Structure 1
Amino acid sequence: MKIIIAGAGAVGTHLAKLLSQEKQDIVLMDDDEDKLLTMDSNFDLMTVCRSATSINGLKDAGVAKADLFIAVTPDESRNMTACMLASSLGAKKTVARIDNYEYLEPHHQEFFKKLGVDSLIYPEMLAAKEIVSSIKMSWIRQWWEFCGGALVLIGVKMREGARILDIPLSELGKQEAPYHIVAIKRGNETIIPRGDDMIKLLDIVYFTTTPKNIPIIRKVAGKEEYSDVKNVMVMGGSRIAVRTTQFAPDYMRMKIIEKDPTRCTRLTELVNDKTMIINGDGRDVDLLVEEGLKNTEAFVALTDNSETNILACLAAKRNGVRKTVAEVENIDYIGMAESLDIGTVINKKLIAASHIYQMMLNADVTNVKCLTFASADVAEFTVKEGTAITRRKVKDLGLPKGMTIGGLLRNSEGIVVTGDTQIEPGDHVVVFCMSMMIKKIEKYFN
């Protein structure tokens, strides 16, 4: 597949690195030669130092033969223009990064397709949705819904009170528990577990289950004393913060701490009535305590500085906040953030990349997510008639090491998959695998 990425900024370079590992034909475009130099020498891709809105530049990049053209420069209008030009010059599919939420409204999508922009990616909105999912319950690190909410994936850190520590998963399976353990993050290692694996203290364990069985996971994880999240404090009045307040459920009360008075004035126009805007420096712990930090169940740090966000979450933890979320845009800091036990990490680049990544897949994939802490991906496949995945029971499929099936949706009902499950055409199947394996497991669904 020939893929052209316009924009060698944070999102573009991360996506180029990700896709180059898959041996795709990648072309990275940017008019800043300095940004391209390290990519050209360190990764298996071609660089073109031309503007994404230059017709001759697009031709030099080979846009006429492009299967996918991705415009992720910092300038929204430039991305839209680049996609329109690429489409008219022969690109089969185009994706533009945008900053305007209005463009995502359903009645606008057909209009943009006619102009040559097939898909729109708004990283800040995607990040906000992930934040809201992660703060729904104070005891859960990460929360994702699949199959329209019939199945959920939750990541939980194992503390001393967990009842499933040091027991082989094959033994836990004999108890016919209504959940499936699909991944374990242990230090810097990610494990797609087998029957002889055991859960250890401080592991982050990823479970799939149905919504009604979440209390059972809470019980076995020893998290029953954790309070529900009703009060949320947000540090930094960024666009992600605004979207977070808009996606948060009605029962949550939110406070945004923003040090720029002008931005505070603007925030009062953008957020709803349930959100309080406070002008102050979120690094001032005394101010946070004065504003009710000790009575807050969740603290979210969304400044443009990763180090500030990590330290702020540490300070919140020391003041008794159980649930903390940090925006960490420096990928190199993600491992450090986990080792400091700050809670959930949000990274726009990884979130946007996982959404774009699913557009490359040949199988019928409706959802792909990158597990930020774990080097793993999760994808939702629709099963077609006659595919390999339907020919045997799950335990007899010979699935590759590093892959597991977490659950499925059949006749609008979520089902936790076991070794004896027979997958049928029309099922929606949730698959977990180590990073960069999704292309390898497509053969089971094609």
Structure 2
Amino acid sequence: MKIIISGCGKVGYTLAEQLSEEGHEITVIDPKAERVQAAVDALDVIGYIGNGNSYKMQKEAGVEEADLLIAVTGHDEVNLLSCLIAKKAGDCKTIARVRNPEYMEEISYIREELGLSLAINPEFATARDVERLIQVPSALDVDTFAKGRAYMFRLEVPEGSPWHQMKVMDIAVKYGNHFLICILERGDQVVIPSGHTVVMAGDKISMIAPTESMNALFNVVGIKARQIRNVMIAGGGTIAYYLAQKLLKSKVNITIIENNLQRCKELSEKLEGAVIIYGDASDSKLLLEEGLEHMDAFVSLTNLDEENIMLSLYANQMSKAKLITKVNKISFEGIVRSIPIGSIISPKYLTAEHIIQYVRDLENSITNEHESKVDMVYRIADNKAEALEFSVEEESKVTDIPLMNLPLKSDLLICSILRGKRVYIPSGQDRIQAGDKVVVVTRGRHLNRLEDILDNSKR
């Protein structure tokens, strides 16, 4: 597809990189020449220096032939205007990044009036992910599938775990078939395990299971489940605001440390029940005075990646809190995975996941492929694998055939099937049926529809 991206900051660059890798024809627009040049030099994209909300610039960039325009500048109004112009000038699909909480309250109206295909709020999506991590504190990462009835969670197998040196198939025999190990990470190695794969202490494994089975699974792996009641947040930006809103509804005690006095006053007015501290979160004395040692979770959400990393390292030293650290810089990603800063969140990747999910579904509709629909796309195992949820719209080549008889591609696993209100962890005898929701994990593949799991060379 022909896709125009207005705005080539962190999110825009990430989108351009991932969408061009998937074979789309990408054009980026940004008023900063250095951003455009960096994208053109490193990626297979076309670049234009200018404003995405200019009709003349959009026309020059080819909006009349484009299938999709994605507006992800740092200004909501510019993004909305860019989408409105693209809709009128090229009649293409449009996606806008909308970050202002006031706009989010009216987003349904804005989408309808401007004809937006999708509105994305990275901060809201990030807050939702952090909330999940706090709800499931023993997990490193958590994603939801099957309308919230199934969770995929990532954990580290602890020393002394009964799973140490056990084969995957032996684990299933001993502990039941109500869960599935989808991904195993050992050092830099990421594999989709077979029944003969041996699990070792220190491995990071991603498992999918019905919601009600999660706590029992942590116990049998050897991880003690705990409840989070007290959370400290460093930085009082938009993510912190959304997160605090969500956690306060769950009766969690919130302390936010923010170094801007005016912002502290705003948060105090909007977040009834939260403790707002005016001060520098990098002041170790202040953190201890405000009870860091007794916190159940510590979330680093300042605007500086370096500060977030150092704060989480300090919190790791001084407390037993679950750590959640915001990191956006691409250059840091390989380094931070090896240091004890807990779960790492990245708003730009969350935004890219949502948009890629939409793009794959749009591609299906353009090619008139209606057998299945992409509901969810999650990048897992440090972006080395994907978990996708498909809605099976109608009968196709993958339905009503025992899974053991399907000619599946390698490095791919069918993880769960939602049928009605029940989640199945499938065996080889199970069949996919029209109306199901199916979760697939794959390593290094871009699946647009469920039928892409088939290896036609095996037929």
Query: TM-score w.r.t. structure 2 length?
Result: 0.91
How many Å apart are 1:137 and its aligned residue?
Answer: 2.9
Give the partner amino acid of 1:119.
L
Matched, 1:103 2:103: yes
Larger mean CA deviation between 27-36 and 384-393 belongs to 384-393
Give the partner amino acid of 1:332.
S
How many Å apart are 1:100 and its aligned residue?
Answer: 2.2
Give the partner amino acid of 1:301.
S
- Distance in 1, Cα, partners of 2:81 & 2:451: 33
Pairwise mapping of residues 5-404 of structure 1 onto structure 2 (< 5 A)? 5-105=5-105, 108-175=107-174, 176-224=176-224, 226-248=225-247, 249-273=249-273, 275-361=274-360, 362=364, 363-371=372-380, 373-404=382-413
Cα 1:251–1:32 shift into 2, 3 Å = same
Q: Secondary structure at the match of 2:324?
A: strand
CA contact (8 A) 2:95 2:118 kept: yes
Cα 1:46–1:100 shift into 2, 3 Å = same
- Distance in 2, Cα, partners of 1:435 & 1:281: 42
CA contact (8 A) 1:293 1:321 kept: no
- Distance in 2, Cα, partners of 1:420 & 1:335: 40
- Distance in 2, Cα, partners of 1:115 & 1:440: 29
CA contact (8 A) 1:299 1:321 kept: no
Q: Secondary structure at the match of 2:387?
A: strand
- Distance in 2, Cα, partners of 1:420 & 1:172: 20
Matched, 1:412 2:421: yes
Q: Secondary structure at the match of 1:418?
A: coil
Give the partner amino acid of 1:437.
H
Larger mean CA deviation between 342-351 and 175-184 belongs to 175-184
Q: Secondary structure at the match of 2:124?
A: helix
CA contact (8 A) 2:9 2:73 kept: yes
How many Å apart are 1:436 and its aligned residue?
Answer: 4.6
Give the partner amino acid of 2:81.
T
- Distance in 2, Cα, partners of 1:34 & 1:346: 27
CA contact (8 A) 1:88 1:116 kept: no
Give the partner amino acid of 2:419.
R
Cα 1:440–1:198 shift into 2, 3 Å = farther
- Point out 4+ residue stretches in structure 1 off by more than 4 angstroms: none
Q: Secondary structure at the match of 2:51?
A: coil
- Distance in 1, Cα, partners of 2:394 & 2:439: 17
| Higher relative contact order, structure no. (Cα contacts within 8 Å, ≥ 6 residues apart) | 1
How many Å apart are 1:49 and its aligned residue?
Answer: 2.0
Cα 1:61–1:7 shift into 2, 3 Å = same
Count of equivalent residues = 442
Q: Secondary structure at the match of 1:87?
A: helix
Gaps of at least 5 residues in structure 1 are none
Cα 1:171–1:95 shift into 2, 3 Å = same
- Distance in 2, Cα, partners of 1:347 & 1:254: 22
Aligned-pair Cα RMSD in Å: 1.9
List per-residue Cα deviations over 1:300-337 (Å, max 9, x = no partner). 00001111111111111112324100000112212322
Gaps of at least 5 residues in structure 2 are 365-371, 455-459
- Distance in 2, Cα, partners of 1:373 & 1:168: 24
CA contact (8 A) 1:346 1:372 kept: no
Which residue matches 2:448?
A: 439
- Distance in 1, Cα, partners of 2:150 & 2:346: 24
How many Å apart are 1:372 and its aligned residue?
Answer: 6.5
CA contact (8 A) 2:234 2:258 kept: yes
How many Å apart are 1:109 and its aligned residue?
Answer: 2.2
List per-residue Cα deviations over 1:44-94 (Å, max 9, x = no partner). 121122321111211111111111110001111011000000011124210
